[in-house]
Amino acid sequence: MAEANKGWAVCSVCGKEFEIVGNRKKCCSKACGEERSRRQCCERGKARYRALSPEQKKELAMKRKQAKPKKVKGAMKPKFQNELARAAAEARKHGMSYGKYVANCEGRRYG
């Protein structure tokens, strides 16, 4: 058997035995390779977390809570709506209806 020299390895992700082809030596498939790198990344993060003191862990948890993006009410409102509201408020200030206020403005502009 001339092909017996081809290496076999056990996938470090799923534990399946696979034939070593090219550069792929640790995992049986691309999916397992991706899973492996994801796990390694995760493990590194966990190790870093484990090294922290309980106080530091508490601090980290607090920071994570604070890092949540705040919901800003009305942030997605189109600009013209704000303009409308502003004009209406302005009109009220002058004791006019919005329509009158706008007419007044227009009149002034062309008058």
Which residues bind to Zn ion, rule: CB under 5 A? Answer: 11, 13-14, 28, 32
Q: How far apart are the first and last CA of the chain?
A: 103
Nearer to Zn ion, 28 or 91 (CB): 28
Minimum distance from residue 42 beta carbon to Zn ion (Å):
17
Residue number, 15 or 99, with CB nearest to Zn ion: 15
Nearest residue (CB) to Zn ion, 26 versus 104: 26
How far is it, in rounded angstroms, from Cα 84 to Cα 90? 10
Residues pairing with 10 in the sheet: 17
